[in-house]
Amino acid sequence: MSSSDTPPGVTITPYRDGPYLVRGSFEVLDQDGNQIPLSRRTIALCRCGKSRMRPFCDGTHKLAGFQAPGRAEELPGPPDANPGAPECRRAR
Amino acid sequence: MSVSAPASVSAPPSHAARCVVLPGMRGPWTERLFSALLQAPGTDIEVDDLAVGAHGALQDHDLQLALYVAYELHYATIEGVDDRWEWSPSLLGFRQTAERHFDRAVEELVPDCALQGTTDVGGALQRLVGGDEGPPLSRFVEARATREQVLEHVIHRSAYQLKEADPHSWAIPRLSGAAKAALLEIQFDEYGEGKPERMHSFLFAETMRGLGLDASYGAYLEQLPGITLATVNLMSGFALHRRRRGAIVGHLAAFEMTSSIPNRRYGNALRRLGYGPDVTDFYDEHVEADAVHENIAAWDLAGALARAEPQLAREILFGAYALLALEGLWAERLLDCWREGASSLLGPVASAEHSVR
């Protein structure tokens, strides 16, 4: 499929440390050209590779500690500024 | 001979109007409120001598039930109670007294250090949720819970899931621009994208019915302990006060961010016990839906609200932390009771016992 065939009005957004969200009018096909059923208008596609329901995201990236910026990476890939959380325990 | 319709008949799903039956009174808070509600709207409710029980406001079964019923006037009809009570000054005064105790107890749970990093709210929410060390409830349920314990878990959750998404909808008119659009993107999906049979509250009712439980709204109010009701009162309180719009947004973000993985485990628990897709659908749907919602909630909703109203950043994190803290206490109660071989509910559940296979 050439880029000019892409239906207009589709956006694909990488979310920081998370999946790609796809919005608009689109369909998802498997490699044999069969339609993959979609259960909602906005879908999340796995970006970390660890989902157990690929191509969709199932939240597993959080367990895997997946990190990626919510924007395009430049070459060479800059380290994503994501400082560790200060030690903070729940008050009892 | 009357024959009841088989469950498989493909009639349009019924969404009965919500009507709650007042549960039994539990102490001074519910006695004071319920006896007034059965009288004319505006009847005085004395509050000066009402105090919090020995276990604190969050674990006070009586106070939390009274507050839950006070909020319930905004969501549902209460049998025998005049609808005009909803905005009656004496009811609002009573509610405010209960809220003061509740709010203070919640504030005591949230350490100041949890509310820092407020220039990057999406990132701060990620760190907050990622660093949360809640009790391993979903792991226990997935691997070891008995059928009765799984039913208990569902009954606890019915306090919210039968009106899933409704509290957060109160925030819609209080937001604008990108934050409002993001909230509506989530809520549209929560409400089934225009299909009532895909509404999440309806899917939960289907799960309850599939488990042999009573799916009518409020059916198990009698059995719900204070901390379970507190998890719902938290969102109703944030949602019904415009000044707390940051907190309800943070609450939703953290709720969505902690949903996909536990819901997969709850679905697995039901599969382990032999239940099929009719019962697991609610949980399976949430694995996929909340993997979408959590990103919208953290970045497009909370992030946009913090950009539009930077002074709310701290409140957004407060709402998120409060959710994690209360859910933690609730999970702890379930696991503590089960460890002792006891029920985590207050009193027996008739219809659950009938349904034991």
Spatial separation of the C-alpha atoms in residues B110 and B21, rounded to whole Å:
34
The enclosing domain of B123 has a CATH number of: 1.20.910.10
For residues B314 and B233, membership in a common domain is answered with yes
pTM, full prediction:
0.90
Asked which of B132-136, B140-144, B300-304 is least confident by mean pLDDT, the reply is B132-136
B328/chain A closest Cα distance in angstroms: 10
Judging by DSSP bridges, how do beta strands A43-45 and A20-23 pair with one another?
antiparallel
Whether B7 is covered by a domain: the verdict is no
Q: What is the pLDDT of residue B263?
A: 95
Determine the length of chain A.
92
- Domains in chain A (CATH in brackets) are 7-70 (3.40.5.90)
Residues B165-183: what's their mean pLDDT? Answer: 98
pLDDT (0 to 100) of residue A88: 58
Q: Percent of chain B beyond pLDDT 70?
A: 93
Let me know whether B170 and B51 are in one domain: no
For residues B65 and B147, membership in a common domain is answered with no
pLDDT of residue B347: 87
Alpha helices in chain B (DSSP H): 28-37, 61-72, 89-109, 121-130, 137-143, 147-161, 166-169, 177-190, 200-210, 226-240, 245-257, 260-272, 277-295, 303-308, 313-339, 350-354
Are B213 and B333 in a shared domain? yes
- Tell me the average confidence (pLDDT) per consecutive run of 10 residues in chain A, 92 residues long: 62 96 96 95 96 95 94 75 55 52
Task: State the average pLDDT over residues B264-272.
Answer: 97
pLDDT (mean) for B95-114: 94
Does A44 sit within 8 Å of B291, measured CB to CB?
yes
Does the pLDDT at position B206 exceed 70?
yes
Which one-letter DSSP state was computed for residue B17? P
Reply yes or no: is the peptide bond before residue B6 cis, omega within 30 of 0: no
Distance from first CA to last CA of chain B, Å, rounded? 26
Domain count, chain B: 2
Nearest to B261 among A16, A63, A91 (CB): A63
B245 and B331 share one domain: yes
**Residues of A within an 8 Å Cβ radius of B:** 15-19, 21, 39-44, 52-53, 56-60, 62-63, 70, 82, 84-91
Q: What is the DSSP letter of A53?
A: B
pLDDT band at B355 (very low <50, low <70, confident <90, very high): very low
Q: Is the minimum CB–CB distance between B197 and chain A shorter than 8 Å?
A: no
A88 contacts in chain B (CB < 8 Å) = 111, 113-114, 131
Most B CBs within 10 Å: which of A36, A90, A92, as the mutation test of the B interface? A90
Please name the residue of chain B whose CA is at the shortest distance from the CA of residue A70.
Answer: B299
Q: Which ipTM did the prediction report?
A: 0.85
Mean pLDDT of chain B: 93
Tell me what the mean pLDDT of segment B82-86 comes to. Answer: 98
According to the model, what pLDDT value does residue A82 have?
56
Q: Is B289 near chain A, with CB under 8 Å? A: yes
pLDDT one-digit tens code per residue, B12-51:
455 678 999 999 999 999 999 999 999 999 999 999 999 9
Hey, what amino acid is at B280? Answer: T
Q: Which residues contact B308 (CB under 8 A, 6 or more apart)?
A: B176, B177, B178, B179
Residue given tokens 């990190």 in the structure block: A67
Instruction: With respect to residue B169, please indicate whether it lies within any of the assigned structural domains.
Output: yes
* Chain B positions in Cβ-Cβ contact with residue A87 (cut-off 8 Å): 113
Strand-pairing partners, residue A35, are A29
- Give the pLDDT score at A4: 56
Is B179 strand, coil or helix?
helix
Same domain assignment for residues B279 and B206: yes
> Strand, helix or coil at A3?
helix
Residue with tokens 């691997």: B143
Q: Which residue has the higher pLDDT, B224 or B356?
A: B224
Instruction: Please compute the mean of the pLDDT values over residues B175-184 and round it to a whole number.
Output: 98
pLDDT at position B112, please? Answer: 84
Domain hosting B72: range is 21-109
Cis previous bond, B310, omega within 30: no
Residues B70 and B146 in one domain: no
Task: Report the distance separating Cα A77 and Cα A69, nearest Å.
Answer: 10
Residue B184 touches partner A, C-beta closer than 8 Å = no
Between chain A and chain B, the number of residue pairs with CB atoms below 8 A apart is 88
